[in-house]
Amino acid sequence: MKIHLPFHLTLCTLILALLCASPAFAQDDSGGGSRSAIFSSLSKEDKMKLLKARREVLANNPDLKAEQEGLAKQREELKDGSDDDKKILFQNLMAHEKKMRAAMLQVDPTLQPIFDQIDQAMKEKFQQRAASAGGN
C-alpha cells in the first residue's frame, strides 16, 4: 500500500510535536489535527509521564538534544522543499524518534504500554486516511 506524502507530512508534524515536547503536549488537546487525535486517548497522567521522560532524556543526552534541534531547524527550512527532501527528513525524524523511545524506555520502562497505545492510534489514523484516499 502506497503512503501519500501528505500523510508523511502529517506524521512528521506529529513526531516533531513529540520531539519538541512543549507544555501543550501534557495538556488535553481539544483542537483538531493528528496530534490531538492520537493523544486524545491518553490520560493526562500518561501525557505527563511521557513529557517527564522526554525532558529527562534530552537533559541527559546532549547528542539527542542537538539532533532534535537540528531536525526542527531542517523542518522549518523545508516548508517549501522538494518531496525528496521531505521524505529524507521524514526518515530522519523516524530514526530520531526510535532513539528517543529507546532512551525514554531506559528512563521509565513503564512507558511501553503508552507507546503501544500511541502506535495503535497512529495505525488507526493511517487506516482512516487510506480508506478516505481510496474512496476518492
Domain boundaries defined on the chain = 44-126
pTM of this prediction?
Answer: 0.70
pLDDT tens string 74-114? 988 888 888 898 899 999 999 999 999 999 999 999 999 99
Q: How many CA atoms lie within 13 A of 83 on its CB side?
A: 6
pLDDT at residue 27 greater than cutoff 90: no
Q: Where are the alpha helices (DSSP H) in the chain?
A: 5-20, 34-39, 44-60, 62-77, 83-107, 112-134
Task: Give the pLDDT score at 121.
Answer: 87
- CA pair distance 48, 39, nearest whole angstrom: 12
114: cell is: 503508552
State the chain's mean pLDDT as an integer: 79
Task: Give the pLDDT score at 130.
Answer: 85
38: cell is: 492520537
**Residues contacting 90, CB < 8 A, separation 6+:** 8, 9, 11, 12
